[in-house]
Chains A and B, each alone.
Chain A
Amino acid sequence: MTTENMSNAETDVSSHGDTVLEVDALNVTFPSEDGSLPAVREVSYRLRRGEALGIVGESGSGKSVTSMAIMGLLPKNTRIDGSVRLMGEEILGLPDKAISKVRGKKIAMIFQDPLTSLNPVYTIGFQISEAVLAHNDVGRKRAWERSRELLEIVGIPSPGQRLRQYPHELSGGMRQRVVIAIAMANNPDVIIADEPTTALDVTVQAQVLDALQSARKETGAALVLITHDLGVVAGQVERVAVMYGGRIVESGPVEEVFYRPQMPYALGLLGSLPRLDEERAERLAPIGGTPPSLMNLPRGCAFAPRCPMARDVCHTEEPVLLRTLDNGDRVPPRPEDAAAHVAACHFSDELGAGIRPEALFREAGKGSGEETERSEQGAAGDPEVLLRAEDLVKNFPIRSKGLLKRKVGDVQAVSGISLELRERETLALVGESGCGKSTTARLLLNLIRSTSGRVSYMGKPLQGLSDKQMRPLRRDLQIVFQDPFASLDPRMTVADIIAEPMLIHRTRNGDAKKRVKELLELVGLNPEHGSRYPHEFSGGQRQRIGVARALSLNPKVLVLDEPVSALDVSIQAGVINLLEDLQEELGLSYLFVSHDLSVVKHIADRVAVMYLGKIVETATTDQLFEAPAHPYTQALISAIPLPDPVKERTRERIVVTGDVPSPADPPSGCRFRTRCPKFAQDLSKTEREKCVQEVPGLLERGSGHRDACHYSEVVELL
């Protein structure tokens, strides 16, 4: 890609010697039975010393494969061409022995799953020293010393002790920090982090990202951060590359790409993201369709089938990465201005700085005029309470090993939850993994038996009902599951899956088929596809099938257990919109279980925040996000990365340390006190005493806003 360049191109060039990693026209093709899969096509980027580059893209966009190719970790039969130069030295296609010398020493990689990337049978200390010794023969003792230092840098408390522990004794966030420590063991020049925080909770994610930054600072390494989370990218890197269909479609400085995207895909991604920092928009603007399959990429621009701007030329000619100059001309970038903002789109110039994603990605069929006001009906009198829970407790017994299986303790999954779900209302249950939110949802539906407490549906108690007595009530209470792949029986056709509840309840004997078609249409799927099997659908479409099944009996209450967390951003928005439409159309009540506060802010009317089996704060959505009172809620809100580079870097943070304690042995008094920033920093000794001894009650702050903290104080965060 070296054509002659315009002389007036402004340059923020860096000298050649400064480049640590140079990827040039990298192509990766997987052979498969059905033909070859071009997973990565013509990817080129350049990384300067100490620079942080973010690579964003949806699943299947080739972002992980690119880095696996760089590391030489792909299977032998993969076809790789192009060039990857590390400090000017070609590393692509090096024999195993030679590349082992590079791996770990010059390039280090951090994988997504900290559970599997550490060896369970060796101690942490052994594994870090092993990494040190692999490239520096300094002796066991020195290596051990170095391991200690490394753990300190990544922020692990009492590192000396931790070194002797095994991976299973550490929490997920801690393990990921150990992985980071291993990665920086030999002061590499480049660290590639592949979705390093995707498997972690938000509060822990913040800690791990901090560790990653200190690792960078310490080693001076350049960072390639691969992620699907635009918020993480906004805060952590200087430059970002957006991948789609195996190619880089846009790249440039973060601010440029976020504020002035030149490719409709990047704009669409931003528009389909529910925002924590903005007023709740009427609707999200999802990108229509689904990401292309690598098997038969569309001719021309890979994004064209989903692009609202696409014209004839987009379907025939693949655009190349071009740089827009001040005078509006578009030219190929010169090799030395690697940091320039480039985009692969025939019509970049039509995307002005002011264009809003909503304007471009307006959904077909939804005219701008017919948007109805939400929550308008709620004004007329108090809506009826449908589902009520009081002092709900669920303990899972821990049994001793051996023959007797004596009960030796309890995992207190849910400890005294009270909540109400009203008609036509969306109540969100928010919390980190293991806080008991999913258990609560299942208790409300009587899918698992509660240890104590009461649940009633329209005044009728549910606890103690047998399966048979429960059956008529199941028509009104339905659930949509998190995993769209596991929640549909793979051996049944979609029509059978949706019709199953009707068959069980013997409703609509004759016209079940007709009803299935109606339902498929209602959730936005082609009614003719009922005879297909679930695996023929994409994640978002499967989730719609799950919704259709839940709706087949005309329920009044829908429990949504993380319905969008397994979906890609661009797909997620479509499902959220569908849920909102359905609620309006059918008058449903939602119990929305989620860990994602941005989604919750968008969809919920009221929010209950859970921590370790207890509700710590409950309020209307506006109250909660404008004036969070409980320190945990505050920490949660401030830990969520905003997809806005300037805001993300300048905002005030309330940082939580440590990990969630085990629910088998929760702290006395206030359960949050072990991680509470207020407890650690602001409170006097006598005040702390109260937190340790007294369990805070869920007390009213006025107008329905309640929180469970002895010293709660409203803070404005957004």
Chain B
Amino acid sequence: MSNGTPTTAPGRTAQRSAADRTQLQTIVRRFVRHRPAMISLFVLIVIAAFAFIGPFFWMWDHRVSSEILSNQPPDSTHPLGTSSAGHDVLGQLMRGAQQTLKVALTVSLCATAFGSLWGATAGYYGGRTDAMMMRIVDVFLIVPPLVAVAALAGNTKGGTTWSTIAIIIALFSWAQIARVVRGVVLSLREQEFIEAAKASGASAPWIILRHLLPNAAGPIIVAATLLVAIAILMEAGLSFLQFGIQLPDISLGQLIGEARTAVSTRPWTFYPPGVLLVLICLTINFIGDGLRDALDPKQTMVRR
């Protein structure tokens, strides 16, 4: 058995040194080397700190105050000006970003987790199970979410708190993830390593959790990051139609919706929430990219 001197392919000397690290350490190292992802992570942390910690230090909150003059352009007391109803825009922006982040991330996590499991299960079993599970998915895909939300939102217990909104949006977005994951799993399950796992006695949940989902990580992460953007838009749409987060509470979508008529007259009410919204979507997309690359062992990190 002399044949076994392992030859490492060239150009992988970087990994040779990484050989003894644990998997988690390797993944973290790869993520850290992904520059756009690291910058995005930093920006997102700053935004989150602004949204969640900021309100404790800023004198104005998102509510109307009699002390605030309306329609003031930015000045030293109100760095982002005030709205026509007499809100401090900076205070509103903090609260809005907070609510939007909470909704978007909850939706993305819940819908992705449930949708991937559902899709992977359907794809793995195939046949009749698959047909039935995917018909359920179809139902969720063809019902217009706005109509369903309109019917649901008025009758739910929590009213219009952010968590209710998040759950309702998640309920109508997992189906897309399920469809994507099922497609990937359908091709994965024909691979020999799945058969190898079966041959060593692995149960269906084992195969789905340990083999199918990790190998579908790429498409899942892409879908999840897209979902963040979709959730933010959907929440904005719902709020605009009075089914989402209600005044005096505020979200970014709502802020933009309210300021849309004043883009030229009072730009300070429109641009800050707009830019923040774009930033959140962008950073999450880049972080998703970095995560996907870091999780894929085949990626060589030689590009510099």
Contacts and interface: CB of A to CB of B under 8 A. Distances in A.
B201 A364 contact: no
A541 B6 contact: yes
Contacts of A528: 19-20
Given A33-B302, A490-B298, A363 B200 contact: no
Interface string A487-517: 1111111000000110011000000000000
Contact of B2 (A288, A290, A477, A482): A288
Nearest to B297: A533
Contacts of A488: 193, 196
B125 interface: no
B192 A532 contact: no
Interface string A576-592: 01100100000000000
Nearest to A530: B19
Contacts of A500: 197, 200, 202, 210
Contacts of B198: 447
A504 B9 contact: no
A36 interface: no
A493 B23 contact: yes
B10 interface: yes
Interface string B7-29: 11111100100011111000000
B201 A504 contact: yes
Interface stretch (A321-329, A456-464, A518-526): A518-526
B215 interface: yes
Nearest to B198: A447
Contacts of A366: 2
Nearest to B295: A491
B211 A489 contact: yes
A491 B217 contact: yes
B265 interface: no
Interface string B261-304: 00000000000000000000000000000000001111000110
A293 B10 CA distance: 7
A495 to B, nearest CB: 10
Interface residues of B, number: 43
B2 A504 contact: no
Nearest to B213: A491
A470 B203 CA distance: 11
A489 B201 contact: no
Given A295-B9, A533-B297, A478 B200 contact: yes
A295 to B, nearest CB: 4
Given A293-B9, A549-B200, A491 B1 contact: no
B73 to A, nearest CB: 51
A541 B206 contact: no
Contacts of A279: none
Contacts of A578: 1, 3
Nearest to B195: A447
A535 interface: yes
Nearest to A570: B3
Given A296-B10, A487-B192, A490-B298, A581 B1 contact: yes
A649 interface: no
B144 interface: no
B10 A288 contact: no
Interface centre among A34, A289, A467, A489 (most CB of B within 10 A): A489
Contacts of B303: 33
A404 interface: no
B201 A471 contact: yes
B219 interface: no
A33 B301 CA distance: 12
B199 interface: yes
Nearest to B4: A524
Contact of A504 (B4, B206, B214): B206
B200 A504 contact: yes
A563 to B, nearest CB: 12
B76 interface: no
A608 interface: no
B5 interface: yes
Contacts of B1: 363, 365, 523-524, 574, 577-578, 581
Contact of A295 (B11, B214, B217): B11
Interface string A431-461: 0000000000000010100000000000000
B200 A574 contact: no
B66 interface: no
Contacts of B210: 500
Contacts of A529: 6, 19
B201 A288 contact: no
B191 interface: yes
A371 interface: no
B193 A288 contact: no
A537 interface: yes
Contacts of A445: 199
Contacts of A289: 3, 5, 7
Nearest to A467: B203
A575 to B, nearest CB: 8
B297 A363 contact: no
Contact of A491 (B3, B21, B297): B297
Contacts of B19: 528-529, 531-532
A525 B1 CA distance: 9
A540 interface: yes
Contacts of B11: 34-35, 295-296
Contacts of B211: 489
Interface in B127-179: none
B37 to A, nearest CB: 19
A525 B191 contact: no
B200 A531 contact: no
A447 B3 contact: no
A569 B202 CA distance: 34
A578 B221 CA distance: 41
A487 B210 CA distance: 15
Contacts of B196: 479, 481, 487-488, 546, 549
Contact of A526 (B4, B201, B217): B4
A31 B39 CA distance: 31
Interface centre among B191, B217, B295, B303 (most CB of A within 10 A): B191
A402 B208 CA distance: 30
A506 B35 CA distance: 41
B298 A537 contact: no
A114 interface: no
Given A481-B195, A533-B297, A34 B302 contact: yes
Contacts of B2: 288, 363-366, 524
Interface string A348-376: 00000000000000011110000000000
Contacts of A268: none
A486 B191 contact: yes
A295 B10 contact: yes
Given A363-B1, A531-B20, A489 B297 contact: no
Contacts of A364: 2
A346 interface: no
A475 B201 CA distance: 8
Contacts of A577: 1, 3
Contacts of B3: 286, 288-289, 363, 524, 540, 571, 574-575, 577-578
Contacts of A479: 195-196, 199
Interface string A289-302: 11001011000000
22 contacts: A33-B302, A34-B302, A289-B5, A363-B3, A365-B1, A477-B199, A481-B195, A486-B191, A487-B193, A487-B196, A489-B214, A490-B193, A490-B297, A491-B295, A491-B296, A504-B201, A505-B200, A505-B201, A523-B4, A528-B20, A535-B298, A553-B200
Given A471-B201, A486-B192, 8 more contacts: A286-B3, A481-B195, A500-B197, A500-B200, A504-B202, A505-B200, A578-B1, A578-B3
Q: Which 10 A-B pairs have the closest CB atoms?
A: A524-B4, A524-B1, A574-B3, A501-B200, A474-B201, A487-B192, A533-B297, A296-B10, A364-B2, A295-B10
Interface of B: 1-12, 15, 19-23, 191-193, 195-204, 206, 210-211, 214-215, 217, 295-298, 302-303
